[in-house]
Amino acid sequence: MEKEPQLDLLQKEVGYFFSDSALLVRCLTHVSYARGKQSSHNETFEFLGDAVLDLAVSDLLMRRFPAKTEGDLSKMRASLVNAAVLAEKGAHLNLGELLRLGKGEERSGGRRKESILSGAFEALLGGIYWDGGYEAARRVVERFFESDIQERTLGQQDYKTRLQ
């Protein structure tokens, strides 16, 4: 990939360095880029990253708020693990600029699409898990979500407040 210095910067920002750089490139390859090519894409790592993220955030919440009920913890997790939040984290890492996209996605602004950015963030977490194991992925999740885990803002709004 021609963006090697940017990939090094990404790994530094994430706090994890891949032992296999081809795996990182796969995490940044959207399915639209891989169509009709021998290249593999990030969908399976997105799937894996989603599961890792749910587990790691659940673990963080239970450790931080051991007296909360399952319902409260579920609401808190949902406020953290959703497409808008994950896309924001992906944008913070400039994942949009690093993604390999097909021409159609490129033309339609795919680098800024919430669904693509959130999927890329999940794929990155899935790749970290695949490359370095759960503990490596958990540390990255903690790094990116610890400041968001504040009782006064997580899942504490009623529907009317959220609508307003």
Strand partners, 100: 29
Residue 36 is classified by DSSP as: T
Tens of pLDDT, residue by residue over 36-72, are 676 699 999 999 999 999 999 999 999 999 999 999 9
Average pLDDT along the chain: 89
C-beta neighbour count of 85 within 10 angstroms: 17
Q: What is the pLDDT of residues 87-106, one digit of tens each?
A: 999 999 999 999 999 999 99
64's CB contacts (< 8 A; 6+ apart) are 149, 151
Supply the pLDDT for residue 38. 64
Q: What is the pLDDT of residue 151?
A: 52
* Residue 34 reports pLDDT greater than 80: no
pLDDT of residue 85: 95
Q: Which residues are catalytic?
A: 50, 122
Query: Is 80 or 3 the better-scoring residue by pLDDT?
Result: 80
pTM for the whole thing?
Answer: 0.88
Within a 10 A sphere around the Cβ of 153, how many other Cβ atoms? Answer: 12
* Residue 129 scores a pLDDT above 90: yes
Around Cβ 69, how many Cβ atoms within 10 Å? Answer: 9
Phi-psi region of 15 (alpha: psi -120 to 50; beta: other; left: phi over 0): left
Residue 113 tokens, joined: 């699409």
Give per-residue pLDDT as tens, 133-157.
999 999 999 999 998 987 545 655 5
pLDDT, residue 30, reads 94
State whether residue 77 is helix, strand or coil. Answer: helix
